[in-house]
DNA sequence: AATGAATGAGGCTTCATTCAT
DNA sequence: CATGAATGAAGCCTCATTCAT
């Protein structure tokens, strides 16, 4: 009667993750506040009561998802650090939300996080933290890369990083409000276009704008 | 425009506006969903029932406020058009939210609008509309100004406008998540710093970046 | 349209009291914990929501009823003070719960209060307070009456008062557990019998107990 | 009586009793209704499911504990019968709840039983039964002892027994509401003081009250 | 026009009970 | 025998909305 203890043929369903995933889906779909625990339970194919075996409250679920989101971004930063070039590293941020099917879920969720951070100190702290990690990470990336000196005069890596992050957020908003009907692929294209614009500005090819300058006797 | 402008020299309290203002305050403070009609009524020093005399539902109030917000921005755009220089015109956008006491109210509200636009088609249409007006308006501003030709090679006024708008949104998010504890004045400073950064990039002073090139006569 | 302000033909329904009465009935019937807000609402012919316009929580309703109970007892004590004789004064306590139709409601409620006081500090404080008032009041009553000197040697008015109160409580328990099927009238009889027993002990008529002794050979 | 008394020299943990003890503790701590099956399971270091192997429902657990309580009291009565004197016999009742660590558990539990008996016919029957046993037992004790004739004139052993039981209950209430912060020892003292009071009344030493009479010429 | 009492559906959360392992 | 994951009914409370005054 006991299952064969050998090959773990059926992975034990990770209820916790199952619930978190369902919650993420729901939150992305309807937002924190309008999502009911019943919604989450239904999405997770689970009873409401069970959610409370794993999380003490709805807020705790939100908090956990936010934490997960933070971890995802940290990993993203790590990936970026491995990228061969600065451009590619930053490309990762600009396109990250479009790699998978969660595309239309994560952005709305993040926007909700931002909105929530205006009144919930806990969420605010987390968002702020994520933001700092990002800016710092990108600033380091720029500083470490040879491209730093290509920045316009008086432009620090940090300033550049902040601009990049801000633009990313702005683009995310565009994604949500303008492109929600478009395919993830198109959205991704849009992001890349945004990146290239910014890139051109931040790191003007020497030959393109200024190289001639220095070369002149 | 209001009826009976004659016999009532003292303008009757504009209940409608009173309610809208109160709602704006509440929404900014707590967000759409958590704000109750009672909150709004209290803030407006009015009974709950009265709100329903002017608006058919809570959603209608939200919609109306959003519409108002749109009108405000249109006016802002108009102001910008009157500005003596492009920089000053754009400065208006970057600092608009900090001029008055509503500073800490509008930004959270707008973030809520963005978040809401992810699921509410009506809100989405409005946000999108506002966004287009903005981008178009700024692009025109740039095109009309003599500064357009100072844009980096291959950079259209529209691209610049999009970048400006995105960055503005990104900065607004920073405002809400990072600066909520700071004074509006500091927040405004921050915005201006952001603007100057971007400005330096978009419109490099000839002498600053390229004059040295020597290409100039 | 406004109601005639003259004769108050229709007394404005005192919702608050209406709810309290209903709650009292329900609590007496089923106890605090098993009684639902819906029960109370139904009993009061009112919606659940309305209860929350008058009380912030179920506990607040309980607390208020307890407070009311305390006030009732204070009044009872006052009545007792007016009584022509000590016996009649004390009789009031022993029979108070049987005067009206609430007979079968108050005693269970009080028992619930006692039980609750074992874990709820707030309730405990109230019960304790009531108890002190009682003992003090009765002790005073005894001391003030000429009967005090008839107390057995070494028996203080306070001791007598404590015994009376304890016995009253014990009788109340008997009421609830034994006589719940009997008529209030019988229950009252029972109480009086208890009182007479105790009375005989506390205030033995000199001739009744001791004088006769002398008759013994 | 239990099966397989042979092969298991070490008594298997008596799950049933273990659960009952835990339940008693919990009920005393928080009351019937607020106590959850999980509370009981935790206290018993057992799984919730296991409780249902031994008891069909929460109510059954309560009922069983009540039955146990009844048995305990029966035993107490038996002990009392063995006591050398009436006073000592009755002392047993007054102090019984203070002999062991359950002191602060049993009284609240009994109060809960009383409160519950107001609405639960089953509990009521049990409480009534216990009560009768008690009164009968004590009345017998009094009747059997030589002290019976020392009772005040017209006072039957049964009347005395009832008074004793009532006073005991009243004192128990005082214990719970007033002395919950005191040590069991102090509480016991209190009980004994109560007993002595009552005793003095019920069984006035001849010389104490009446002998003086004899002093009269 | 204005009030605010009243409603009741619905949300979050708890908990007795069941059942697969 | 034992576990504890899982269920779902039900409880407390909130709040958008209505309506008598």
Statement: residue C130 has pLDDT above 50: yes
Statement: residue D212 has pLDDT above 70: no
Q: Residue A126 corresponds to which tokens in the numbers above?
A: 């987390």
Q: Phi and psi (nearest 5°) for C70?
A: -60, -45
CA–C1' distance C42–E7 (Å)?
A: 13
Gap from B4 CA to chain A (nearest CA, Å): 41
Considering only CB atoms, which chain C residues are within 8 Å of D119? 29-31, 34, 108
Gap from C82 CA to chain D (nearest CA, Å): 26
CA–C1' distance A159–E19 (Å)?
A: 61
Residues 122-151 (A) with a CB less than 8 A from some CB of B = 124, 127-128, 131
d(CA A183, CA A176): 12
Where does the pLDDT of residue A205 fall: very low under 50, low under 70, confident under 90, or very high at 90 and above?
low
Nearest to C210 among D154, D202, D213 (CB): D213
Q: Which residues contact B144 (CB under 8 A, 6 or more apart)?
A: none
Statement: residue D156 has pLDDT above 60: yes
Considering only CB atoms, which chain B residues are within 8 Å of A159? 197
Is the minimum distance from the CB of C53 to strand E below 7 Å?
yes
Statement: residue A37 has pLDDT above 90: yes
In strand F, the nucleotides that come within 7 Å of a protein beta carbon are: 1-21
Contacts 24+ apart (CB under 8 A), D55-60: D55/D19
Inter-chain residue contact B162 with A194, CB threshold 8 Å: yes
Nearest to B115 among A29, A115, A214 (CB): A115
Single out the residue of C131, C178, C68 nearest to residue D170, CA to CA: C131
Inter-chain residue contact D209 with C214, CB threshold 8 Å: no
Statement: residue D209 has pLDDT above 80: no
- Mean pLDDT value of segment B135-163: 88
The answer to whether residues B91 and B195 touch, using CB atoms and an 8 Å cutoff, is yes
Where does the pLDDT of residue D136 fall: very low under 50, low under 70, confident under 90, or very high at 90 and above?
very high
pLDDT at C203: 78
Statement: residue B100 has pLDDT above 60: no
Q: Phi and psi (nearest 5°) for D13?
A: -55, 130
Contacts 24+ apart (CB under 8 A), D31-36: D31/C33, D31/C115, D31/C116, D31/C118, D31/C119, D31/D108, D31/D112, D32/D62, D32/D112, D32/D116, D33/C31, D33/C33, D33/C34, D34/C33, D34/C119
Where does the pLDDT of residue C67 fall: very low under 50, low under 70, confident under 90, or very high at 90 and above?
very high
Is the minimum distance from the CB of C36 to strand F below 7 Å?
yes
Where does the pLDDT of residue D147 fall: very low under 50, low under 70, confident under 90, or very high at 90 and above?
confident
Percent of chain B at pLDDT > 90 equals 34
The answer to whether residues B107 and A118 touch, using CB atoms and an 8 Å cutoff, is yes
- Mean pLDDT value of segment A63-81: 90
Enter the DSSP assignment of C11: P
Q: Which of C81-90, C122-131, D10-19, D149-158 has the lowest mean pLDDT?
A: D10-19
Cα C193 to chain centroid, rounded: 18
CA–C1' distance A18–F2 (Å)?
A: 27
Single out the residue of B18, B68, B60, B64 nearest to residue B41, CA to CA: B18
Q: Give D184-200 pLDDT, tens digit per residue.
A: 677 777 778 888 888 88
Question: Does A209 contact chain B (CB < 8 Å)?
Answer: yes
Residues 68-87 (D) with a CB less than 8 A from some CB of C = none
Inter-chain residue contact D173 with C114, CB threshold 8 Å: yes
Inter-chain residue contact C163 with D114, CB threshold 8 Å: no
Name the residue in chain B with its Cα closest to that of A33.
B33
Q: Which nucleotide is nearest to C12 (CA to C1')?
A: E5
Between residues C117 and C210, which one has the greater pLDDT? Answer: C117
pLDDT at C204: 73
The answer to whether residues A126 and A70 touch, using CB atoms and an 8 Å cutoff, is yes
d(CA B114, CA A178): 11
Is the minimum distance from the CB of B52 to strand F below 7 Å?
yes
The answer to whether residues C21 and C65 touch, using CB atoms and an 8 Å cutoff, is no
Nearest to D119 among C31, C128, C212 (CB): C31
Statement: residue C6 has pLDDT above 60: no
Q: Which of A101-110, A113-122, B144-153, C111-120 has the lowest mean pLDDT?
A: A101-110
Single out the residue of C109, C106, C98 nearest to residue C186, CA to CA: C98
pLDDT at C216: 43
pLDDT at B48: 96
Name the residue in chain D with its Cα closest to that of C125.
D177
d(CA D15, CA C129): 43
Is the minimum distance from the CB of B49 to strand E below 7 Å?
yes
Inter-chain residue contact C173 with D166, CB threshold 8 Å: yes
Is the minimum distance from the CB of C46 to strand E below 7 Å?
yes
Question: Does D159 contact chain C (CB < 8 Å)?
Answer: yes
d(CA D198, CA D1): 44
pLDDT at C1: 39
Cα atoms found within 13 Å of the Cα of residue A19, Cβ hemisphere only: 24
Question: Does B194 contact chain A (CB < 8 Å)?
Answer: yes
Statement: residue C113 has pLDDT above 50: yes
Question: Does A182 contact chain B (CB < 8 Å)?
Answer: no
Statement: residue B114 has pLDDT above 80: yes
Single out the residue of A123, A212, A116, A202 nearest to residue A162, CA to CA: A202
CA angle (D78, D82, D87) in 5-degree steps: 105
Nearest to C210 among D29, D178, D209 (CB): D209
The answer to whether residues A127 and A67 touch, using CB atoms and an 8 Å cutoff, is no
Enter the DSSP assignment of A197: H
Which segments of C10-85 does DSSP mark as H helices, in order?
A: 15-30, 37-44, 48-54, 58-82
Is the minimum distance from the CB of C10 to strand F below 7 Å?
no
Statement: residue B97 has pLDDT above 70: no
- Mean pLDDT value of segment A132-152: 88
Inter-chain residue contact B163 with A198, CB threshold 8 Å: yes
d(CA D217, CA D206): 17
Distance from first CA to last CA of chain C, Å, rounded? Answer: 90
Q: Which residue is nearest to nucleotide F12 (CA to C1')?
A: C37
Q: Which of B18-27, B192-201, C54-63 has the lowest mean pLDDT?
A: B192-201
- Mean pLDDT value of segment A125-148: 90
Q: Give C78-112 pLDDT, tens digit per residue.
A: 988 898 888 888 888 777 666 555 567 888 889 99
Cα-based distances in Å from B51 to B14, B23, B34, B68 = 12, 10, 17, 17
pLDDT at D184: 64
Angle between helix B121-144 and B58-82 (nearest 10): 0
Considering only CB atoms, which chain C residues are within 8 Å of D178? 128, 131
Where does the pLDDT of residue A43 fall: very low under 50, low under 70, confident under 90, or very high at 90 and above?
very high
Distance from first CA to last CA of chain A, Å, rounded? Answer: 88
pLDDT at A211: 38
Q: Residue D178 corresponds to which tokens in the numbers above?
A: 């007033």
Question: Does A198 contact chain B (CB < 8 Å)?
Answer: yes
pLDDT at C9: 44
Name the residue in chain A with its Cα closest to that of B117.
A177
Q: Residue A18 corresponds to which tokens in the numbers above?
A: 């199952």
- Mean pLDDT value of segment C24-36: 91
- Mean pLDDT value of segment A81-101: 78
Q: How many CB atoms lie within 10 A of CB D44?
A: 21
Type and span of the H or E element at A125: helix A121-144
Q: Give D51-110 pLDDT, tens digit per residue.
A: 999 999 999 999 999 999 899 888 988 988 898 888 888 888 777 666 555 567 888 889
Average model confidence (pLDDT) across chain D: 81
Considering only CB atoms, which chain A residues are within 8 Å of B197? 155, 159, 162-163
Name the residue in chain C with its Cα closest to that of D164.
C167
Q: Which nucleotide is nearest to C15 (CA to C1')?
A: E5
Single out the residue of A80, A105, A107 nearest to residue A92, CA to CA: A80
Q: How many residues does chain B have?
A: 217
CA–C1' distance B45–E3 (Å)?
A: 12
Inter-chain residue contact C209 with D152, CB threshold 8 Å: yes
Average model confidence (pLDDT) across chain A: 82
Chains B and C touch (3+ CB pairs under 8 A): no
Between residues D6 and B43, which one has the greater pLDDT? Answer: B43
Enter the DSSP assignment of D164: H
- Mean pLDDT value of segment A140-163: 87
Statement: residue C217 has pLDDT above 60: no
Question: Does D182 contact chain C (CB < 8 Å)?
Answer: no
Enter the DSSP assignment of B29: H
Nearest to B209 among A34, A124, A209 (CB): A209
Considering only CB atoms, which chain B residues are within 8 Å of A114? 111, 114-115, 173, 176-177
Angle between helix D58-82 and D103-117 (nearest 10): 120
The answer to whether residues D191 and D95 touch, using CB atoms and an 8 Å cutoff, is yes
Burial string for C123-147 (b: 16+ CB within 10 Å, else e) reads bbebbbebbeebbebbbebbeebeb
Greatest mean pLDDT among A138-142, B112-116, C50-54, C114-118 lies in C50-54
CA–C1' distance B31–F8 (Å)?
A: 33
Statement: residue D216 has pLDDT above 60: no
Q: How many CB atoms lie within 10 A of CB D114?
A: 27
- Mean pLDDT value of segment A125-129: 91
The answer to whether residues C111 and D115 touch, using CB atoms and an 8 Å cutoff, is yes
pLDDT at D50: 96
- Mean pLDDT value of segment A175-192: 72
Enter the DSSP assignment of D97: G
Cα-based distances in Å from A187 to A136, B124, B159, D183 = 26, 16, 16, 72
Between residues C136 and C191, which one has the greater pLDDT? Answer: C136
Q: Which nucleotide is nearest to B52 (CA to C1')?
A: F17
Statement: residue B183 has pLDDT above 90: no
Q: Which nucleotide is nearest to B47 (CA to C1')?
A: E3
Is the minimum distance from the CB of D48 to strand E below 7 Å?
yes
Considering only CB atoms, which chain A residues are within 8 Å of B119? 29-31, 34, 108
Residue with tokens 């990993």: A75
Average model confidence (pLDDT) across chain C: 81
Where does the pLDDT of residue B50 fall: very low under 50, low under 70, confident under 90, or very high at 90 and above?
very high
**What is the pTM assigned to this prediction?**
0.84
Q: How many CB atoms lie within 10 A of CB A155?
A: 18
């Amino acid at each position: 009667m006991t299952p064969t203890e050998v090959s773990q043929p059926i992975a034990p369903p990770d209820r916790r993750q199952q619930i978190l995933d369902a919650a993420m889906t729901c939150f992305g779909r309807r937002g924190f506040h309008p999502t009911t625990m019943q919604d989450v339970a239904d999405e997770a194919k689970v009873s409401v009561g069970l959610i409370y075996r794993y999380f003490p409250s709805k807020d705790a679920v939100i908090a956990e998802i936010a934490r997960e989101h933070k971890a995802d971004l940290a990993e993203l930063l790590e990936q970026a650090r491995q990228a061969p070039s600065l451009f590619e590293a930053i490309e990762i941020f600009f396109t990250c939300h479009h790699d998978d099917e969660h595309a239309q879920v994560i952005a709305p969720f993040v926007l909700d996080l931002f909105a929530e951070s205006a009144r919930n100190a806990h969420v605010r702290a987390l968002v702020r933290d994520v933001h700092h990690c990002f800016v710092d990470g990108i600033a380091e990336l720029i500083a470490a890369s040879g491209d730093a000196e290509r920045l316009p005069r008086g432009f620090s890596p940090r300033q550049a990083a902040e601009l990049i992050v801000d633009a990313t957020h702005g683009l995310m908003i565009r994604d949500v409000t303008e492109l929600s009907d478009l395919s993830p692929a198109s959205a991704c294209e849009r992001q890349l276009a945004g990146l290239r614009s910014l890139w051109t500005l931040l790191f003007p090819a020497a030959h393109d704008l200024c190289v001639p300058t220095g070369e002149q006797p």
